[in-house]
């Protein structure tokens, strides 16, 4: 697909999403930001077919990542 044929999507992530993106950037340091977002959206869609994360309520500003996701083995960040 040519870049001119692509749909632009503007996204204003909440705090938990920004934190998840920073962690994902450490997991996949060779991906540029757009490739990383594509990877996360596609992976997230596949994951939702099984068990979605426990994000209660509609106030996305209060959502938090589980501590287990914040700890990357061998990473000090």
In a domain, 43, yes or no: yes
For residue 71, being part of any structural domain is answered with: no
**Is 65 part of a structural domain of the chain?**
no
- Quote the domain boundaries for residue 32: 13-51
Which residues, in sequence order, are CB contacts of 57 under 8 Å at separation 6+? none
19-28: pLDDT as tens digits: 988 999 999 8
32 in a structural domain: yes
User: What does pTM read for this prediction?
Assistant: 0.56
**Structural domain count of the chain:** 1
Cα 11 to chain centroid, rounded: 12
Say if 23 falls within a structural domain.
Answer: yes
**Could you tell me which of 33, 28, 26 has the C-alpha nearest to residue 11?**
33
Would you say residue 29 lies in a domain? yes
The pLDDT tens digits for 1-56 are 677 777 777 777 889 888 988 999 999 899 888 888 888 888 888 777 666 566 77
């Amino acid at each position: 697909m040519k870049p001119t044929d692509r749909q632009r999507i503007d996204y204003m992530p909440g705090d938990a999403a920004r934190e998840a993106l920073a962690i994902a950037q450490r997991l996949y340091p060779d991906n540029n930001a757009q490739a990383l977002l594509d990877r996360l959206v596609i992976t997230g869609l596949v994951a939702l077919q099984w068990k979605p994360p426990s994000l209660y309520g509609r106030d996305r500003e209060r959502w938090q990542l589980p501590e287990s996701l914040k700890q990357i083995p061998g990473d000090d960040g």
